[in-house]
Amino acid sequence: MKILIYAEHREGALRKITFENITLAKQLGVPFEVAVIGSEVGNLQEELGKYGAEKVVFYQNADLATYSPDAYAAVLAEAVKKQGADVLLMGATSTGKDLGPRAASLLNAAMATDCTKVELDGDDLKITRPMYAGKVLANIRLSSAVKVVTVRPNVYSAAEAPATAAVDTESVDAPGFKAMVKEIVSGAQGKLDVTEADIIVSGGRGMKGPENWHLIEGLAELLGAATGASRAAVDAGWRPHDEQVGQTGKTVSPSLYVAVGISGAIQHLAGMSSSKYIVAINKDPDAPIFKLADYGIVADLFDVVPRMIEELKA
Ligand SMILES: Cc1cc2nc3c(=O)[nH]c(=O)nc-3n(C[C@H](O)[C@H](O)[C@H](O)COP(=O)(O)OP(=O)(O)OC[C@H]3O[C@@H](n4cnc5c(N)ncnc54)[C@H](O)[C@@H]3O)c2cc1C
């Protein structure tokens, strides 16, 4: 078996999921290569080597400077064929969700998305992925010759394992594409994305309004956390959509998830139930979030959160 890992990068910076997937491939003990697509993307091999990549192939073309789903998928599918890979490994990120199925279709490959465990079973892969909004965990096998697998960010911790990566550069055709990204408008500068954060503090309707979000932000800052929100808070216009956690928002797997004034509707749990530790603050002792929480604080958040902030500052 041979794995090809798609190196996800933006504006010259590699996304954490790429290192996590390298760690996963090393754990599996299967030969792997890393494919970087773009134009003049810089010396990413050094950073990839830090996590154990021994071979990095750059697929370059000036027209690939910005992400285009159909062009990137075509180049990636060619890369899989050229490298003779059996498995294409990517992140279950927005890009992975966009690119993975397109590449799978070009490769006539079966695909497993948002996987939380990938193991080797003989010369096959045994894959675990949540289904039905996280209500069941399915163990699956893919029966096609080439397989496409996207892995949920933060499930595997990236571990440094220094290696010197050999580099190949392939000049590729940028196939005529129908869609390309013209501009990426980033949100608040330096804001940590919930999908990459190790700690998340999320607020819900119990926050009562955007004027109280300084409590979420204050706690998050002291914990080095990203801020998240329930759909109720997003729909009310209190928070931007990129913070929404849940079935129609983002799926997160931090080490610590603090849910403040969030009831724990199934659609919210679908996005955060694989968090390692969950702390819930809610004044209703019967709130469903307490069934999942490792630690529950039954109290008025306007009393407890300021006290937590004071304690952390002390
Ligand atoms: C198709 C579909 C998709 C959906 N996708 C998502 C999704 O992606 N993400 C998502 O979050 N939801 C999603 N929802 C909505 C979901 O069903 C819930 O409506 C939503 O999660 C509720 O948000 P909430 O917990 O903030 O609000 P509520 O359910 O209203 O809960 C507020 C909580 O705050 C507590 N509270 C109030 N005041 C205080 C206080 N002073 N101190 C402490 N606690 C207090 C209350 O006891 C209550 O438990 C979806 C729904 C549908 C139908």
Shortest-distance atom of ligand 1 to CA 302: 41
Q: Where are the domains of the chain?
A: 3-171, 199-313
Using the 8-state DSSP alphabet, how is residue 261 labeled?
A: S
What predicted TM-score, i.e. pTM, was given to this entire model?
Answer: 0.88
Q: What is the pLDDT of residue 97?
A: 95
Q: Which residues have a Cβ under 8 Å from the Cβ of 65 and sit 6 or more positions away?
A: 38, 39, 40
In CATH, which of 3.40.50.1370, 3.40.50.20, 3.20.20.80, 3.40.50.1220 is domain 199-313? 3.40.50.1220
Q: Which of 215, 248, 252, 291 to mutate to test the pocket of ligand 1 (most atoms within 8 A of CB)?
A: 248
Residue 47 CA to residue 165 CA, distance in Å, equals 9
Domain 3-171 belongs in CATH node 3.30.200.20: no
Ligand 1: distance of its center to the CA of 62 in Å?
Answer: 46
Q: Cα-Cα-Cα-Cα dihedral of 239, 241, 242, 243, to 10°? A: 40
Identify whether the C-beta of residue 59 lies closer than 8 Å to the C-beta of residue 75: yes
Q: What is the pLDDT of residue 134?
A: 83
Q: What is the pLDDT of residue 177?
A: 78
Residues enclosing ligand 1, CB less than 6 A? 204-206, 230-233, 244-249, 261-263, 265, 267-268, 271, 281-284, 287, 300-302
Residue 101 CA to residue 218 CA, distance in Å, equals 39
Residue nearest atom 27 of ligand 1, based on CA coordinates? 205
Residue 180 CA to residue 67 CA, distance in Å, equals 6
- Residues 255-275 pLDDT 10s: 999 999 999 999 999 999 999
The single-letter code of the amino acid at 29 is G
Which single residue is written with the structure tokens 């937590």? 308
Backbone angles phi, psi at 312, to 5 degrees: -70, -30
CATH fold match for the domains 3-171 and 199-313: yes
Low-confidence ranges of the chain (pLDDT < 70): 188-189
Q: Which residues have a Cβ under 8 Å from the Cβ of 292 and sit 6 or more positions away?
A: 264, 269, 273, 278, 280
Q: What is the pLDDT of residue 207?
A: 98
Helix boundaries (H) for the chain? 16-28, 44-50, 69-83, 94-107, 214-223, 231-235, 266-272, 289-292, 301-313
Residue 152 CA to residue 91 CA, distance in Å, equals 6
Q: Which residues have a Cβ under 8 Å from the Cβ of 56 and sit 6 or more positions away?
A: 7, 33, 34, 36, 44, 45, 48, 49, 165, 166, 167, 168
Residue 202 CA to residue 253 CA, distance in Å, equals 13
Query: The tokens of 48 are what?
Result: 């990839």
Residue nearest atom 51 of ligand 1, based on CA coordinates? 267
Which SS3 state, helix, strand or coil, does residue 214 take?
helix
Shortest-distance atom of ligand 1 to CA 261: 34
Ligand 1: distance of its center to the CA of 267 in Å?
Answer: 9
Residue 294 CA to residue 219 CA, distance in Å, equals 19
